[in-house]
Chain A
Amino acid sequence: MSLTLHVDGARWRAHLDAVATANPGLTPVVKGNGYGLTLPRLARRAGWLRDQGHDLDTIAVGTYSELETVASRFDGDLLVLTPWRPFGPELELDEHLERRVVHTVGRLEDLVDLLDRHPAARVVLERRTSMLRHGFDADGLRAAGRLLRGRRTASVAGVAFHLPLDQGSHLAEVLRLMDDVVAADLPTRTLWISHLSADELATLRRTYADYVVRPRVGTALWLGDRGALRVTSTVLDVHPLRRGQVYGYRGRTAPRAGHLLVVSGGTAHGIGLTAPAGESRLRARAAVLARGGLDAAGLARSPFTVDGRQRLFAEPPHMQASMLLLPAGARVPEVGDELDVRVRYTTTSFDRVLVD
């Protein structure tokens, strides 16, 4: 009756354990929809990893609003990745959380403001990368260093880099940025860093052996072993369809005979919602174009598969369910059967997550 994420528990846990072993100082990222696995589950699982003996004392959330959900399920430190601003939920932070939260700060004025409000705040200073999202520039980081030398009550938990995806080697950029970190003369020797390959991490750790590297890992940790995860939808109804027959909310006519499948999983789950693919390779962009052509014909490939084949949406997905076209000649599933679904985990809310 539902869109379900099945997790092969033993395999998944083994993968988590392997990632934590390969990444000493691992900081699991527990944010957004919990990578489809939900925030509470990931927070508890991070605690489990720590209990396995891994060097893990902090998890990272995306926003201040996510803190409450994870705080009761993981009792270590909580790093907030979105930089602190003097407005929004960060100002309503519960007092009991203040001690456990590590704030990310990316602007000098915010650092002053935060320390004025909470002189003993724990902060991570973000250095802006080529991604140009948040963070200090080189001069800003030096200014932050000067400010912090005058405010010894603050506790600096490290410096963070948020690197872009897939830009070849990140190491050259990281090493350049490290000059700014050293130049800032900060009272910290910890680096919070994501998206470095194992080799790059090893090089960084060797040349900066006087620093502690804390790799932040989200996708590669929770979703790194796709084989441990399977998503299914349930067939809710099956109707034979004549060519030219009218069906659906929008009163479309069937282009040819076949069957109409009504399956669980709709826009409320994130099904059928797409973000720009962001592909820069020519081949990938051509594929996007091809899909667009299908769209123009009023038909779109759905993420639901029947007998291993992706089927077309009969019409745009509904809130809880989707309608699929099954051409004549294909095997017709029965009500209650499960179909495999390909989803983007970070944008999907499952009705159920079943860990075997």
Chain B
Amino acid sequence: MPAALTVRPVTEDEHLAHLRSRPSASFLQTPAWGRVKSEWRRESLGWFRASPDGAEEMVGTALVLYRQLPRVKRFLAYLPEGPVLDWDDAADDLAAWLDPLTAHVKKQGAFGVRIGPPVVTRRWSAQQVKDGVADAGTARLADLAPSVREPLGAAVVSGLRRLGWRHQGAEGGFAAGQPQYVFQVPLVHPDGTARTEDEVLKGMNQLWRRNIKKAAKEGVEVTTADVGDPAGLADELAAFHALYVHTAERDHFTPRPLSYFRTMAEALGAEDRDRFRVFAARQEGDLVASTVAIRVGTHAWYSYGASSTEKREVRGSNAVQWAMVRDALAAGAHVYDLRGITDTLDPEDSHVGLIQFKVGTGGEAVETVGEWDLPLNRVLYRAFDLYMSRR
């Protein structure tokens, strides 16, 4: 019988120290992310296990965001893409790991808890996704046998279900929470050795390669800015934001305010200079594409993107993506993560274009365990469920 696990609040420094001891964690689980989401109460939690010599060892952490239920002083304890545990270890006895968490947040006034274990369940190759879109009989990724099934992911799903957790599904679209399906380009071989730039480039489809080449020929130059140069970062962020607002108008989504990105840059950048970086692609002085990249350890994300309506032919978007991939490779990252896709493979669906763009990178569609809720107070949880569904 392994020693019992306990969960208690830790300082942000302790939290960060644990994250640094691991190869990677979701940026949504960094203390900095709690500062970005300042409208919610946040808490850093640690999992502790007594080692044989009596000392205590910190074996897991979580950033908990407490989201208040309207008009009631009760909260949903939300752990986006967390907690950060050794899931291999935890899958053998999920209750031992999750019970102390739920007991703690219940004492903090939570009526329910939502987690998003960062554990992969299935992977589909770019070719499979492409074939799936072409095949009229395949409407969703889940209808397609994957190239890889991950036993750990299956164990976590099965274990959560057994413990009464409820999967928060989002068939055919994006859920309110974090996406269950993402698109990733592996930057290492299965044996763990790094792929070369050339290998990654060769994995991309012909259109991507042609566009990257074309951007270079058109004289597109990509520069980056991070917190190492605060003035430069502020300028690039403002430029990014102006283009992002333009993109939002064109593509009909609601842009976030510049202050949101400033907070993000500041909070994430304070933890680590490499956490937050703005990429800008310019051609003859004109900003044609700009993106926000985030990296925690070996995991690099393409987080936000914007592109001009003018000069699309110089292929700034491809140039900036390629620059981000190269940057991630140079930093020793294992994964380049293009974040969410929907599970639809229906060519009539408006989301499919996004998948097709990401598929061009030659990576893989990745399904994670997704988000799971455990109601702690059934009446309030049901009220919350209703509130969310009507929002």
Chain A residues within CB distance 8 Å of chain B: 138, 142, 145, 176, 178-185, 206-210
Known: A138-B162, A176-B161, A182-B149. A206 touches B143 (CB 8 A): yes
List 20 other contacts, CB 8 Å, given A138-B162, A179-B158, A210-B149.
A176-B158, A176-B161, A178-B154, A179-B157, A180-B154, A180-B158, A181-B154, A182-B149, A182-B150, A182-B153, A183-B151, A183-B155, A183-B157, A184-B151, A206-B143, A207-B142, A207-B144, A207-B145, A210-B145, A210-B146
Residue B100 is within 8 A (CB to CB) of chain A in the complex: no
Closest 7 CB pairs of A and B: A209-B145, A183-B155, A182-B154, A185-B151, A183-B154, A179-B158, A179-B154
- Name 12 A/B residue pairs within 8 A (Cβ), A-sorted: A138-B159, A138-B162, A176-B158, A176-B161, A179-B161, A180-B154, A180-B158, A182-B153, A183-B158, A206-B143, A209-B145, A210-B146
Q: Are A207 and B154 in contact (CB under 8 A)?
A: no
Chain A residue, CB-CB nearest to B151: A185
Q: Give bound CA distance, A179 to B142, whole Å.
A: 13
Q: Are A182 and B145 in contact (CB under 8 A)?
A: no
Grouping DSSP codes into helix (H, G, I), strand (E, B) and loop, the B interface class, with mixed when no group exceeds half, is helix
Least distance between A150 CB and chain B CB atoms (Å): 16
Least distance between A144 CB and chain B CB atoms (Å): 13
Least distance between A21 CB and chain B CB atoms (Å): 22
Q: Are A142 and B145 in contact (CB under 8 A)?
A: no
Residues of B close to A145: CB separation below 8 A? 151
Per-residue contact bits, chain B 146-183, to A (CB 8 Å; 1 contact, 0 not): 10011111110111011000000000000000000000
Q: Give bound CA distance, A98 to B224, whole Å.
A: 68
Residues of B close to A142: CB separation below 8 A? 92, 155
Residues of B close to A184: CB separation below 8 A? 151
Residues of B close to A176: CB separation below 8 A? 158, 161
Residues of B close to A183: CB separation below 8 A? 91, 151-152, 154-155, 157-158
Chain A residue, CB-CB nearest to B155: A183
Chain B residue, CB-CB nearest to A142: B155
Residues of A close to B155: CB separation below 8 A? 138, 142, 179, 183
Residues of A close to B158: CB separation below 8 A? 138, 176, 179-180, 183
Q: Give bound CA distance, A183 to B120, whole Å.
A: 12
Q: Give bound CA distance, A208 to B142, whole Å.
A: 10
**Residue picked from A145, A182, A206, A208, most chain B C-beta under 10 Å:** A182
Contact of A208 among B145, B152, B153 (CB under 8 A): B145
| Total interface residues in chain B, CB < 8 Å | 19
Residues of A close to B144: CB separation below 8 A? 207, 209
Q: Give bound CA distance, A180 to B156, whole Å.
A: 9
Least distance between B222 CB and chain A CB atoms (Å): 40
Least distance between A19 CB and chain B CB atoms (Å): 25
Residues of A close to B92: CB separation below 8 A? 142
Q: Give bound CA distance, A142 to B158, whole Å.
A: 11
Least distance between A137 CB and chain B CB atoms (Å): 9
Chain A residue, CB-CB nearest to B122: A182
**Residue picked from B92, B151, B154, B158, most chain A C-beta under 10 Å:** B158
Q: Are B143 and A207 in contact (CB under 8 A)?
A: yes
Q: Give bound CA distance, A74 to B48, whole Å.
A: 60
Chain B residue, CB-CB nearest to A206: B143
Residues of A close to B157: CB separation below 8 A? 179, 183
Q: Are B151 and A182 in contact (CB under 8 A)?
A: yes
Q: Give bound CA distance, A206 to B135, whole Å.
A: 13
Tell me the B128-144 residues at the A interface (CB within 8 Å). Answer: 142-144
**Residue picked from A145, A178, A207, most chain B C-beta under 10 Å:** A207
Chain B residue, CB-CB nearest to A180: B158
Residues of A close to B162: CB separation below 8 A? 138
Q: Give bound CA distance, A179 to B161, whole Å.
A: 10
Q: Give bound CA distance, A176 to B157, whole Å.
A: 9
Per-residue contact bits, chain B 59-80, to A (CB 8 Å; 1 contact, 0 not): 0000000000000000000000
**Residue picked from B92, B155, B157, B161, most chain A C-beta under 10 Å:** B155
Least distance between A223 CB and chain B CB atoms (Å): 34
Tell me the B212-264 residues at the A interface (CB within 8 Å). Answer: none
Least distance between A220 CB and chain B CB atoms (Å): 27
Q: Give bound CA distance, A210 to B144, whole Å.
A: 10
Least distance between B99 CB and chain A CB atoms (Å): 17
Least distance between A136 CB and chain B CB atoms (Å): 12
Q: Give bound CA distance, A209 to B122, whole Å.
A: 13
**Residue picked from A145, A176, A183, A208, most chain B C-beta under 10 Å:** A183
Q: Give bound CA distance, A145 to B151, whole Å.
A: 11
Least distance between A142 CB and chain B CB atoms (Å): 7
Q: Give bound CA distance, A277 to B53, whole Å.
A: 63
Residues of A close to B154: CB separation below 8 A? 178-183
Q: Give bound CA distance, A181 to B151, whole Å.
A: 8
Chain B residue, CB-CB nearest to A137: B162
Residues of B close to A180: CB separation below 8 A? 154, 158
Q: Give bound CA distance, A138 to B151, whole Å.
A: 12
Residues of B close to A181: CB separation below 8 A? 154
Residues of B close to A179: CB separation below 8 A? 154-155, 157-158, 161
Chain B residue, CB-CB nearest to A210: B145
Q: Give bound CA distance, A123 to B158, whole Å.
A: 24
Q: Give bound CA distance, A210 to B154, whole Å.
A: 15
Least distance between A182 CB and chain B CB atoms (Å): 4
Q: Give bound CA distance, A59 to B150, whole Å.
A: 32
Chain B residue, CB-CB nearest to A143: B92
Residues of A close to B149: CB separation below 8 A? 182, 210
Chain B residue, CB-CB nearest to A189: B149
**Residue picked from A176, A179, A184, A209, most chain B C-beta under 10 Å:** A179
Chain B residue, CB-CB nearest to A203: B143
Least distance between B98 CB and chain A CB atoms (Å): 16
Residues of A close to B152: CB separation below 8 A? 183
Q: Give bound CA distance, A60 to B91, whole Å.
A: 35
Chain A residue, CB-CB nearest to B93: A139
Chain B residue, CB-CB nearest to A181: B154
Per-residue contact bits, chain B 94-118, to A (CB 8 Å; 1 contact, 0 not): 0000000000000000000000000
Chain B residue, CB-CB nearest to A186: B151
Chain A residue, CB-CB nearest to B145: A209
Q: Give bound CA distance, A118 to B182, whole Å.
A: 46
Q: Give bound CA distance, A208 to B158, whole Å.
A: 17
Chain B residue, CB-CB nearest to A184: B151
Least distance between B166 CB and chain A CB atoms (Å): 13
Least distance between B90 CB and chain A CB atoms (Å): 13
Chain A residue, CB-CB nearest to B140: A207
Q: Give bound CA distance, A214 to B332, whole Å.
A: 45
Least distance between A166 CB and chain B CB atoms (Å): 24
Residues of B close to A206: CB separation below 8 A? 143, 145
